[in-house]
Amino acid sequence: MSLTENQKLVLEYIQAYLEDVGIAPTQREIKEHFNLKSYGSVSRYIKNLRDGGFLNVNWNERRGIKVHHTSNTLKEIPFYGEVAAGSPLLLNEVPQETIPIPAAMAAGPFEYFALMIKGDSMIEDGILDGDTVIIKKQNTAIIGQTVVCILENETTLKKYFPTKSHVDLVPANSKMAPIRVKKDFQIAGILVGLLRNY
């Protein structure tokens, strides 16, 4: 099922609410968050997402919404090569291959891609050289999230700390200094998962 942009936003809000609060939002909370005019609009969004297989819904429960995960299946996502957990590396624009990941790591109607970590700037967050990170493609982030950033056509994985005048890209390695940027900066996505071979 192909979702509209608004349906994607509603699904993303429900997912984030479940992850942050541990319970589903009510229809009233969804209505107020999106400034919808009626509960009928909320119900239509939920019904369309349920019919598309993205949600499980118990209409008799006040917080009866669950995001549908299929953890026993695999999903192919683009693999773009290496990303620096150290100095920035060039990100190939066209993926050379795909890799299979658990479908639950790439849930919902969003785009995902994979990168292999090169370097040790994120080791204190348990992200090691040679790990494969799963990235949800988006160009925004909230403070403190781990993001893939494009800096003058090169990429790096760091924690995101914006201010009014600049952005600090902070490593998870106390031996390394943040990268401070003011322009020529773009978020390519946020970290949502990690794969490791032992």
* Per-residue pLDDT in tens (0 to 9) along the chain, 198 residues: 457 788 888 988 998 888 888 889 999 999 999 999 999 999 999 988 887 778 888 888 888 888 875 545 667 888 888 776 655 555 556 666 888 887 777 877 788 999 989 899 999 999 999 999 999 999 899 999 999 998 877 889 999 999 988 999 999 999 999 999 987 788 999 998 888 765
DSSP 26-62: PHHHHHHHTT-S-HHHHHHHHHHHHHTTSEEE-TTST
Per-residue model confidence (pLDDT) at position 19: 83
Residue 90 to residue 155: CA distance in whole angstroms: 6
Considering the candidates 31, 118, 136, 158, report the single residue annotated as catalytic. Answer: 158
Tell me if 19 sits within 8 A of 55, measured CB to CB: no
Per-residue model confidence (pLDDT) at position 1: 47
The dihedral through the CA atoms of 101, 55, 16, 160 has a sign that is: positive
- Please tell me what DSSP assigns to residue 125: G
**Residue 38 among the catalytic residues:** no
Residue type for 149, please? C
Per-residue model confidence (pLDDT) at position 124: 94
Tell me if 129 sits within 8 A of 120, measured CB to CB: yes
Considering the candidates 31, 118, 121, 136, report the single residue annotated as catalytic. Answer: 121
**Residue 136 among the catalytic residues:** no
Q: Which domains does the chain have, with CATH numbers?
A: 5-67 (1.10.10.10), 74-195 (2.10.109.10)
